[in-house]
Amino acid sequence: MILHNIELVDFRQFKGRQAIDCATGSPHNVSVIYGENGRGKTGIFRALMFCLYGDRSLSQDELSGEQKKEGLSLINEVTLKENIGSQVEAQVAISFSHQRKNFRIVRRVDGLMKTDGTIIQNPGGRVELQQTDENGNTQPVETDLEKITGQIQEILNSRLRDYFLFDGERIERLTRNTRERREEVRRGIRALLDLDALELANAGLKSLISQIEKEIGHKSTGELQRVYTHIDALNTKIDDLENAQELGTQELKRLEHKIYEISEMVSENEDTAAKERKRQELIKNSQDLKVEKDALKKEMVGYLNKSAQLVASQLIEQLREELEFRRHKGELPPSIRKEFVEKLLEQERCICGTSLGHDHQQERECLQEFLVKHYTPGLGSESLDLLLSLNRLSSANEGLANQFNRLLVKNKKLRDEIADLESKIKLLSDELKEGGTSVDDLIQERSRLEDDKRTLEREMDRQADEIARAQDDREDWLKRTNVLEKQQSQVDSLVARRDLTKETLAELKAIYDRFANEAKERLAEKSTEIFTRLADEGTQKDIKKISIDESYMLDVLNWTGQRRLGEISAGQRQIVSLSFIMALIQVAGNLEVALFMDTPFGRLSGVHRDHLLDTIPKMASQWILLATDTEFTEVEANALRQTNAWGKIYELVKEGEGITQIVEREVHQFTPKRKSIF
């Protein structure tokens, strides 16, 4: 973030509209705002904090809880007094650039002064932010407070702002040897280096892993595996049975062929030939009858579908008679809807146009009687349909019974005929078997083969049944598989998620360790390097190295490597802090940030000031100094001028009670009030 312009309207002691243009860019990147104590330097710092973050007080204000909530009065009191009883608005606008985009943020607060002099400041405020991108396209003005806060946080996170926008006191405080300060430094390092974000990311990944694992636990069972195993077993069984059927079919063919061959041989014998021919004929007759019987079966199926009415024929008759009786009595509803008749009566008008009023009492009564007679409770309009169905069933019943009977009789006849034929075939076979002819053996052999054939056929029927059952079974199991597979695919995707999360966590952990250590080392190294450029000889003698320990605590080591932070002077601490902050800027990277310092030199020795004035402009992108007359003397002005980085100088001039004017001076001609700090 590089500040371009700060514009104040009736803010604190800055009455009316006043502005500061900051020096930006190389080489002139230093601006000085110069003023005696009490002229409003801190007011500028407040304006910055108010405009960017909406802060109405600073940590140094040491306000009570209630005051902190309300904040300081930010509106110029003179303007308030001039407008007693009416609303007055204070405003701060800051133009800045960040990553090649330009921004202008404006924040306003209003309030009024009552006649008794009390000031009422509106707790809310309005803020707007406008952005112009790198191509010069200006976006619409954003007024949503939340979005603006988010955007500013992204540009200069409030966790970090204390390291760049600070007063000199804070700089010194940063390295005070207290637990609180050390913690602050630790937070700062972690924040700047993103270590806290990295830790949070890791914690989030860890939580996600356990969340996913819980879900996996809920969803996965060994069920699918068991189902697969079962289906596998069924597949094997079906395969085996089908193979057996195939073999059986071949065996049947072989047997039939053999039987045929023997029959041929048998028929060659004249004695038995006649008997055999007869036998074949009977077999054929029997088969014909079986075909006829099958046709009969098919015919029967049609009647069986209606057979319930045969079993319930009497019942059908009884209900039919009951409903007929009711119909006869007029209890079945007519085809005219009850609601329709009621409506006619209610409207007192028939559809033919006849009035049903008092002069047509007879027609009226006729309709009323119709209602009572024809709409019996319980008998809905369906009862008429039911009666019609029952009538149809009743009239069809006799015909159906006759057909049924005919088929049964015919079937019985066929069955008897088949049985008769089969016994004759058996008899002939036996005769052929026992005939004692030369083909005796052949016939016995054939009989044996025929037995084998029948056994095989039975076995194959059994197998076919078993195959059908196994196939049905497999069908059911496959259906279950579909359901389970859907579940399993969820589990698989969860596992993939978990694995990816785990890998990421491992990677991030490794990166964290490497990065944190590397960053710590670089930070310590860089801080020390900058420190040697900033510190005077005496300080350099006392302090050999700036260190950052395991827990990111800042310390200074003397020549023998002992920790000395508690023993160094306030001025030396300021130098250590500045070195550390400059190192942070360098190490953290991507930090295009203005260093905004209020009273930066207060505690520094002359040599330190010279070093600072020489070094910081080269390291920071922009440096804005709020300096008092006691710390910014001719000596400092000359030193700064020599750096060629000094671009702007403003003087804060008191114009009256409660009014400060910001006056721009010429850098080359500006002469501070004091020659030196001494």
Partner 1 sequence: MRDKVTIESILGQINDPAVRIIAEHSLRVARKALNMSEYSRKRFVVEEIDKIMPRALKVRANHDTT
Partner 2 sequence: MQETSDNPMAHISKRWESIYDVLCRGDSIFDQMTNLFTLCAAIGHLNGEEKQPENKKGIFRWTNLNSEIGVSILTAIAWDARDRELAILTDKRRIMDIACDFAEGGMQYLYDNFFEDHMQDGQLLRPEKLDVEFNLAQIVEGLRQKQSMF
* Closest to partner 2 by CB, 407 or 557: 407
Phi-psi region of 100 (alpha: psi -120 to 50; beta: other; left: phi over 0): left
* Closest to partner 2 by CB, 389 or 423: 389
Question: Angle of helix 270-304 relative to helix 223-268, nearest 10 degrees?
Answer: 140
What's the closest the beta carbon of residue 334 comes to partner 2, in angstroms?
17
What's the closest the beta carbon of residue 675 comes to partner 1, in angstroms?
39
Nearest-5° angle of CA 608, CA 613, CA 618?
125
Residue 153 interacting entry, from partner 2, partner 1, none, C-beta within 5 to 8 Å by type? partner 1
Distance CA(257)–CA(68), nearest Å, equals 112
Tell me if 404 contacts partner 2 by CB under 8 A.
yes
Residue with tokens 């973030």: 1
What three-state secondary structure class fits 215?
helix
* Closest to partner 2 by CB, 140 or 399: 399
| Positive or negative torsion for Cα 484, 487, 492, 493 | positive
Residue with tokens 């400041």: 121
- Binding partner 1 (rule: CB under 8 A), the pick from 93, 156, 316, 519 is 519
Residue 403 interacting entry, from partner 1, partner 2, none, C-beta within 5 to 8 Å by type? none
Joined together, the tokens standing for residue 507 give 């990677």
What's the closest the beta carbon of residue 227 comes to partner 2, in angstroms?
21
Site for partner 1 in 156-215 (CB under 8 A): 157-159, 191, 193-194, 196-198, 200-205, 207-208, 211
Q: Cβ neighbours of residue 480 under 8 Å, at least 6 residues apart?
A: 227
Does 27 sit behind a cis peptide bond, omega within 30 degrees of 0 on the bond before it? yes
Tell me if 99 contacts partner 1 by CB under 8 A.
no
Residue 590 interacting entry, from partner 2, partner 1, none, C-beta within 5 to 8 Å by type? partner 1
* Closest to partner 2 by CB, 193 or 390: 390
Phi-psi region of 8 (alpha: psi -120 to 50; beta: other; left: phi over 0): beta
Residue 389 interacting entry, from partner 1, partner 2, none, C-beta within 5 to 8 Å by type? partner 2
Size of the site for partner 1 (CB under 8 A): 41
What's the closest the beta carbon of residue 122 comes to partner 2, in angstroms?
59
Q: How far is CA 28 from the centre of its chain?
A: 50
Tell me if 508 contacts partner 1 by CB under 8 A.
yes
* Closest to partner 2 by CB, 249 or 389: 389
What's the closest the beta carbon of residue 167 comes to partner 1, in angstroms?
24
Cβ 52 vs Cβ 98: under 8 Å: no
DSSP H/E element including 420: helix 382-434
* H runs (alpha helix) in 193-222: 195-219
DSSP conformation letters of 83-110: TTTS-EEEEEEEEEEETTEEEEEEEEEE
| Residue 643: other Cβ atoms inside 10 A | 17
Residue 200 interacting entry, from partner 1, partner 2, none, C-beta within 5 to 8 Å by type? partner 1
- Binding partner 2 (rule: CB under 8 A), the pick from 322, 365, 476, 518 is 322
What's the closest the beta carbon of residue 286 comes to partner 2, in angstroms?
16
Pick from 19, 77, 18, 72: nearest CA to 46: 72
Site for partner 1 in 522-551 (CB under 8 A): 522, 526
What's the closest the beta carbon of residue 292 comes to partner 2, in angstroms?
13
Site for partner 2 in 371-400 (CB under 8 A): 377-380, 382-383, 385-386, 389-390, 392-393
Joined together, the tokens standing for residue 449 give 């083969």
- Show contacts of 62-71: CB within 8 Å, 24+ apart: 70/121, 70/123, 71/121
Tell me if 588 contacts partner 1 by CB under 8 A.
yes
Phi-psi region of 9 (alpha: psi -120 to 50; beta: other; left: phi over 0): beta
Helix then strand then coil, % of the chain, to nearest 5 = 60, 15, 25
DSSP state of 376: -
Does 334 sit behind a cis peptide bond, omega within 30 degrees of 0 on the bond before it? no
- Binding partner 2 (rule: CB under 8 A), the pick from 318, 347, 355, 644 is 318
Pick from 179, 408, 426: nearest CA to 296: 408
Tell me if 457 contacts partner 2 by CB under 8 A.
no
Q: Cβ neighbours of residue 160 under 8 Å, at least 6 residues apart?
A: 188, 191, 192
CA of 29: how far to CAs of 131, 615, 664, in Å?
23, 12, 16
Tell me if 513 contacts partner 1 by CB under 8 A.
no
Size of the site for partner 2 (CB under 8 A): 43
* Closest to partner 2 by CB, 274 or 408: 408
Tell me if 493 contacts partner 1 by CB under 8 A.
yes
Q: Which stretch binds partner 2 (CB under 8 A): 253-261, 312-320, 339-347, 585-593?
A: 312-320
Tell me if 469 contacts partner 2 by CB under 8 A.
yes
What's the closest the beta carbon of residue 78 comes to partner 1, in angstroms?
38
Q: Which stretch binds partner 1 (CB under 8 A): 44-52, 241-249, 500-508, 562-570?
A: 500-508
* Closest to partner 1 by CB, 398 or 503: 503
Residues that bind partner 2 (CB under 8 A): 297, 300-301, 303-316, 318-319, 322, 326, 377-380, 382-383, 385-386, 389-390, 392-393, 401, 404-405, 407-408, 411, 461-462, 465, 469
Residues that bind partner 1 (CB under 8 A): 150, 153, 157-159, 191, 193-194, 196-198, 200-205, 207-208, 211, 493, 496-497, 500-501, 503-504, 507-508, 511, 514-515, 518-519, 522, 526, 586-590
